[in-house]
Structure 1
Amino acid sequence: MAPPRHMTSEDPFPEKTPGKLRLYSMQYCPYAMRARLMLAKKGVDHEVINIHLRNKPQWFLDKYPIATVPVMEQDDKLLGGSLVISEYIDEVYSKNGERTLSADPYEKGRTNMLISDKYGKAISAVYKRLRHEENWEEDFFKHVGELDKELGAKKYFAGADKPTYADYMLWPWMRVLGPDCEIDDVLPTGKLPNLVRWIEDMKKDDTVKACHTPPDVLKRFCQGYHTLKYEYDLE
């Protein structure tokens, strides 16, 4: 089924269903995908309202002046920010023993350090490559290479035998690496062997499959980072 179209300044506010969780998203936004992954992982009943980020509805700006996605709303509750929402979903909707982010304060802190430091630098390097910035290779292989070292021989980043919070919070950017996607020239270099293995394993995960975007569609959207001509409603 095709995702809901992206609402623009011409669209009226869509009435809410009492009690139902709503996610304001953008279909191809990696930050929004973090929240969509967690909602899929936990099987949360929800609705998605896609927002055209180049022509936002005024009612969205009034609701969340920061004007970024994702934003989660449920009755009178409203949260913004991909990590805030993802952690909230994991904590509220997980059954006993099914948290993807460790409840142990130290392990949770280590995961959040990984995300804020190494993930942040690697994500910036991915955007440099998408924008075809000069000398992108140095930053890319330095910072994404750090992730490859961090992963090492582990199957997944937290050392578990299945994806956890640390993996899902990185996946939306790593999915653009590969022969069918926009960044098709980095994995064949042999410089990221552990990430190559991890990417293939992540593609097999049911949660990742549930949030899959066809590679040709994702590639068309990603080209906008270089051309500055973003296409919406590609599906």
Structure 2
Amino acid sequence: MLDTKPNFLHNIGFSSPTRHMQDLPILYSFRRCPYAMRARLALFSSGEPFELREIVLRNKPEPMLLASPKGTVPVLIDNTRVVDESLDIMLWALTKNDTDNWLPQDDSIEKDTAMLWINECDNEFKPKLDRYKYFDRHEKDQQTYREESLGFINKLNSALVTSPWLLGNSPTIADMAILPFIRQYANVDATWFENSEFSHVKRWLGEFLESEIFQRIMPKYPLWTEESLPLIVNECSS
């Protein structure tokens, strides 16, 4: 049986990181942020070792802001390269090692379809999700903003009628890039969502929330400070 605990080395007992640890990529993350969540999903899945730095957005660390002045998470620093878009981090990780076969082949219909799903989520659905979640910052009531978001939820529900995942029988980058936002959407009004007609979306989300990979990315880690010992993910302690 697979171990569902996160595979990390907290480096307890070391006064300073080894040279090897200093060379590892660094991910600045915020646990509940869906963008950071999708980046962690791909990095954990890839098995590539990295240092995880959990932060809070109201107190952004200076090293992160120096690397990415826009001040949003996730931010991946790989030596001198900075990757500060979540989808780019997913592609960076899965291109290195796609253990779970989430990335369709280049120039395939499946990859084009996956990117179309993700683009619609990011560019059309996410702004509507924000208005639904933070309706009190806008002019209309919450129900109006929820109704505006239903087109994408309906589209997902229809796609999931004939297969358990968006592109077939196995999850791909499309599922893993979108599901963190569906989780956020469901949590805005959990009672309404649970009683909604979107049975296939609810089943899809439920399988994701119960999956090993989701459990691995969601522990509450200590907040990172410049005095913290490195929290290394995907590296055995032996």
The TM-score, its normalising length taken from structure 1, stands at: 0.74
- Structure 1 position 52, deviation (Å): 2.8
RMSD: 2.7
Equivalent-residue separation in structure 2 for 1:111 and 1:55 (angstroms) = 35
> Residue 93 of structure 2 aligns with which residue?
89
> Residue 225 of structure 1 aligns with which residue?
none
Would the aligned equivalents of 1:129 and 1:183 in 2 still touch at CA under 8 Å?
no
Larger RCO of the pair (alpha carbons < 8 Å, separation 6+): 2
Letter in 2 for 1:184: A
Would the aligned equivalents of 1:18 and 1:75 in 2 still touch at CA under 8 Å?
no
Would the aligned equivalents of 1:153 and 1:194 in 2 still touch at CA under 8 Å?
no
> Residue 46 of structure 1 aligns with which residue?
50
Letter in 2 for 1:77: R
Give the secondary-structure state (helix, strand or coil) at the position aligned to 1:121: helix
Matches within 5 A, 1:189-228: 189-212=195-218
> Residue 34 of structure 2 aligns with which residue?
30
> Residue 78 of structure 2 aligns with which residue?
74
Would the aligned equivalents of 1:145 and 1:191 in 2 still touch at CA under 8 Å?
no
Equivalent-residue separation in structure 2 for 1:129 and 1:168 (angstroms) = 22
Per-residue CA deviation, residues 126-180 of structure 1 (Å, 9 max, x unaligned), is: 2222213521122122222222123222100111x232211110121222355xx
- Structure 1 position 72, deviation (Å): 0.9
2:139 is equivalent to residue 139 of structure 1: no
Equivalent-residue separation in structure 2 for 1:165 and 1:204 (angstroms) = 18
2:157 is equivalent to residue 148 of structure 1: yes
State the aligned residue count.
198
Equivalent-residue separation in structure 1 for 2:125 and 2:163 (angstroms) = 19
The TM-score, its normalising length taken from structure 2, stands at: 0.73
Equivalent-residue separation in structure 1 for 2:199 and 2:48 (angstroms) = 35
> Residue 162 of structure 1 aligns with which residue?
170
> Residue 9 of structure 1 aligns with which residue?
none
- Structure 1 position 31, deviation (Å): 0.4
Runs of 4+ deviating beyond 4 Å: none
In 2 relative to 1, CA 26–188 (structure 1 residues): closer, same or farther, beyond 3 Å? closer
Amino-acid identity (%):
24
2:101 is equivalent to residue 99 of structure 1: yes
Structure 1, unaligned runs of 5 or more = 3-13, 215-235
Equivalent-residue separation in structure 1 for 2:61 and 2:18 (angstroms) = 14
Give the secondary-structure state (helix, strand or coil) at the position aligned to 1:185: helix
Equivalent-residue separation in structure 2 for 1:186 and 1:140 (angstroms) = 14
2:176 is equivalent to residue 172 of structure 1: no
